Chain A
Amino acid sequence: MTSVKIIAVLVENRPGVLFKVANMIRRRSFNIESITVGTVDHKDISRMTITLHADDAIVEQLVKQLSKLIDVIEANVFTPEEVIARELAIIQLSPDVKVTTDTKVTQELRIVESSSESLTVELLGGPDVIDEFLQKIGESNVLSVARTGITALPKRRN
Chain B
Amino acid sequence: MVEMTGSKALMEALRREKVKVIFGMPGGANLPIYDDLYDSGIKHVSVKHEQVGAHMADGYARVSRGPGVCMATSGPGATNLVTGIATAYMDSSPVIAITGQVPKAMIGRDAFQETDVVGVMASITKHTIQPLSAAEVPSAIKSAFYIANSGRPGPVLVDIPKDVQVENAEMIFPEKLEIRGYTPFLPIDRVKVAQAAEILAKAERPVIWGGGGIRISDASEPFTAIAELLNAPVVTSLQGKGIFPENHPLCLGPMGMHGRAEANKLIGEADVILAAGVRFSDRTTGTADEFGKSAKIIHIDADPSEINKNKRVHLHLLGDAKEILGQIYKTLANSVKRKGPGSWIERINEVREEMKQISAYDTSRSDLTGPNIVRLMREILPLDSILTTGVGRHQMWCEVHYQVLKPRTWITSTGLGTMGFGLPAAVGAKFAKPDVPVIDFDGDGSFMMTETALAVAVEERVPIIAIILNDKSLGMVEQWQRIFYKRRYSGVKTTAGPDFVKLAEAYGADGRRVDSLEQFAKTLREGLGSDMPMLIDVPVDPEYDVFPFMAPGKSLKDTVHGPKEMGIF
Contact yes or no, A69 B123, CB < 8 A: no
Is A110's CB within 8 Å of the partner chain B? no
CA distance A116 to B123 in the complex (A): 52
* Residue in B118, B130, B132, B305 whose Cβ sees the most chain A Cβ within 10 Å: B305
Is A79's CB within 8 Å of the partner chain B? no
* A46 CB, min distance to chain B CBs, angstroms: 12
Is B342's CB within 8 Å of the partner chain A? no
Contact yes or no, B305 A61, CB < 8 A: yes
Contact yes or no, B305 A23, CB < 8 A: no
CA distance A73 to B126 in the complex (A): 15
Contact yes or no, B181 A12, CB < 8 A: yes
Query: Of the candidates A64, A70, A74, which one forms a contact with B147 in the assembled complex, judged by CB atoms under 8 Å apart?
Result: A70
Binary interface encoding of chain A residues 49-65 relative to chain B, with 1 for a CB under 8 A from any of its CBs, else 0: 00000000100110011
Closest to B143 in A: A70
Which residues of chain B come closer than 8 Å to A57, judged between CB atoms? 308
Is A20's CB within 8 Å of the partner chain B? yes
Contact yes or no, A71 B181, CB < 8 A: yes
Is A68's CB within 8 Å of the partner chain B? yes
Q: Which B95-126 residues have C-beta < 8 A from chain A?
A: 118-119, 122-123, 126
Contact yes or no, B305 A27, CB < 8 A: no
Binary interface encoding of chain B residues 299-335 relative to chain A, with 1 for a CB under 8 A from any of its CBs, else 0: 0000111011100000000000000000000000000
Contact yes or no, B181 A19, CB < 8 A: no
Is A16's CB within 8 Å of the partner chain B? yes
Is B180's CB within 8 Å of the partner chain A? yes
Which residues of chain A come closer than 8 Å to B128, judged between CB atoms? 16
Is B182's CB within 8 Å of the partner chain A? yes
Binary interface encoding of chain A residues 64-98 relative to chain B, with 1 for a CB under 8 A from any of its CBs, else 0: 11011111111000000000000000000000000
Query: Of the candidates A27, A64, A73, which one forms a contact with B123 in the assembled complex, judged by CB atoms under 8 Å apart?
Result: A27
Binary interface encoding of chain B residues 68-84 relative to chain A, with 1 for a CB under 8 A from any of its CBs, else 0: 00000000000000000
Contact yes or no, B305 A20, CB < 8 A: no
A60-B308, A61-B308, A67-B304 as given contacts; A20 in contact with B179, CB under 8 Å: no
Which residues of chain B come closer than 8 Å to A19, judged between CB atoms? 119, 122
Is B557's CB within 8 Å of the partner chain A? no
Which residues of chain A come closer than 8 Å to B147, judged between CB atoms? 70
Closest to B122 in A: A23
Is B127's CB within 8 Å of the partner chain A? yes
Which residues of chain A come closer than 8 Å to B126, judged between CB atoms? 70
Query: Of the candidates B122, B127, B180, B304, which one forms a contact with A64 in the assembled complex, judged by CB atoms under 8 Å apart?
Result: B304
Which residues of chain B come closer than 8 Å to A71, judged between CB atoms? 181
Query: Of the candidates A23, A27, A73, which one forms a contact with B180 in the assembled complex, judged by CB atoms under 8 Å apart?
Result: A73
Contact yes or no, A68 B304, CB < 8 A: yes
Contact yes or no, A69 B181, CB < 8 A: yes
Closest to B181 in A: A73
Binary interface encoding of chain A residues 85-124 relative to chain B, with 1 for a CB under 8 A from any of its CBs, else 0: 0000000000000000000000000000000000000000
* A48 CB, min distance to chain B CBs, angstroms: 13
* A32 CB, min distance to chain B CBs, angstroms: 17
Binary interface encoding of chain A residues 1-40 relative to chain B, with 1 for a CB under 8 A from any of its CBs, else 0: 0000000000110011001100110010000000000000
* A16 CB, min distance to chain B CBs, angstroms: 6
CA distance A31 to B221 in the complex (A): 46
CA distance A71 to B126 in the complex (A): 11
Which residues of chain A come closer than 8 Å to B132, judged between CB atoms? 15
Contact yes or no, A23 B123, CB < 8 A: yes
Which residues of chain B come closer than 8 Å to A20, judged between CB atoms? 122
Contact yes or no, B179 A70, CB < 8 A: yes
CA distance A69 to B304 in the complex (A): 12
Closest to A23 in B: B122
Closest to A75 in B: B181
CA distance A90 to B304 in the complex (A): 41
Contact yes or no, A72 B308, CB < 8 A: no
Binary interface encoding of chain B residues 2-33 relative to chain A, with 1 for a CB under 8 A from any of its CBs, else 0: 00000000000000000000000000000000
Closest to A45 in B: B180
Q: Which B144-164 residues have C-beta < 8 A from chain A?
A: 147
Which residues of chain B come closer than 8 Å to A15, judged between CB atoms? 132
Contact yes or no, B123 A70, CB < 8 A: no
Contact yes or no, A68 B303, CB < 8 A: yes
CA distance A123 to B464 in the complex (A): 72
A19-B122, A23-B123, A73-B180 as given contacts; A68 in contact with B305, CB under 8 Å: yes
Contact yes or no, B181 A72, CB < 8 A: yes
Contact yes or no, B118 A16, CB < 8 A: yes
CA distance A23 to B120 in the complex (A): 11
Which residues of chain A come closer than 8 Å to B309, judged between CB atoms? 61
* A26 CB, min distance to chain B CBs, angstroms: 9
Which residues of chain B come closer than 8 Å to A27, judged between CB atoms? 123
Contact yes or no, B305 A64, CB < 8 A: yes
* Residue in A20, A24, A67, A68 whose Cβ sees the most chain B Cβ within 10 Å: A68
* A77 CB, min distance to chain B CBs, angstroms: 14
Closest to B132 in A: A15
* A11 CB, min distance to chain B CBs, angstroms: 8
CA distance A132 to B134 in the complex (A): 54
* A59 CB, min distance to chain B CBs, angstroms: 12
Binary interface encoding of chain B residues 516-547 relative to chain A, with 1 for a CB under 8 A from any of its CBs, else 0: 00000000000000000000000000000000
* B280 CB, min distance to chain A CBs, angstroms: 13
Closest to A26 in B: B123
Which residues of chain A come closer than 8 Å to B130, judged between CB atoms? 16
* B250 CB, min distance to chain A CBs, angstroms: 33
24 contacts between A and B (CB under 8 A): A12-B181, A15-B132, A19-B119, A19-B122, A23-B122, A23-B123, A57-B308, A60-B308, A61-B305, A64-B305, A64-B307, A65-B305, A67-B304, A67-B305, A68-B305, A69-B127, A69-B181, A70-B126, A70-B127, A70-B147, A70-B182, A71-B181, A73-B180, A73-B181
Q: Which residues of B contact A (CB under 8 A)?
A: 118-119, 122-123, 126-128, 130, 132, 147, 179-182, 303-305, 307-309
Q: A57-B308, A69-B181 are in contact. List 17 more A-B contacts (CB 8 A).
A: A12-B180, A12-B181, A16-B128, A19-B122, A27-B123, A61-B305, A61-B308, A64-B305, A64-B307, A65-B305, A68-B303, A68-B305, A70-B126, A70-B179, A70-B181, A71-B181, A73-B181
